[in-house]
Amino acid sequence: MKRRDFLKFSGAGLLAACAMPQDAFGASDIIRLRDLYEKDQSFTALAKRLEGERVGVIGYMAPPLKAESSFFVLTRRPMAVCPFCETSLDWPDDIVAIYTKRTVDVVRYSIKLVTTGRLELGEFKDPETGFVSMVRLADATYERA
C-alpha cells in the first residue's frame, strides 16, 4: 500500500467515526453534566434513557462532607467548598453525587477526574449525611482524567 493510499483510507475512517452519533458508542461513554438537564431542571431524554446504565462523567471532587465516607460530590468546575444543598429544589445542575463501594481517597479539588458508575435519577436523601441529590452515580470508580 502506498503512503498516499494509507492516508486517504485512514482519513476516511476518521471522518466516518467523527460523523457517528454518540448513541452508536457504548453505554459507558463520557457524558457532560449539561446533557442531564433541560433548562427547566427536568431530566433530558438522554438522561432518562441512560438511567440504570454505567456512564462516565468528568469533573472535580468537592471537599467531602465527612471523613472516611464512601460518597463525594463531583462538580463541573473546581470548588474549594462543598456545594451542600438543603433540598432538591436547590439542587444545582452542574454536580453529581458519587457513591463508591470503598472509602473515598480524597483528591485535591483542582484535579480533574473521570468517574464511572450506574446512573440514578430522582430525589434521594443520604441517610448518613442528609445530603439530598437528584443525580447519582452508584457503585462508582474514579481516576485522574
C-alpha atoms less than 13 angstroms from C-alpha of 121 in its C-beta half-sphere: 19
> Going from the N-terminus, what domains does the chain have, and what CATH number goes with each?
26-144 (2.40.50.870)
Q: What is the pLDDT along the chain (145 residues), one digit of tens a residue?
A: 554 444 444 444 433 433 333 333 344 579 988 899 898 889 999 999 999 999 999 999 988 777 788 999 998 888 776 555 444 545 566 889 999 999 999 999 899 999 999 999 999 998 887 888 899 999 999 999 8
Q: Tell me the whole-structure pTM to 2 decimals.
A: 0.73
Rounded distance between C-alpha atoms, residue 3 and residue 38, angstroms:
47
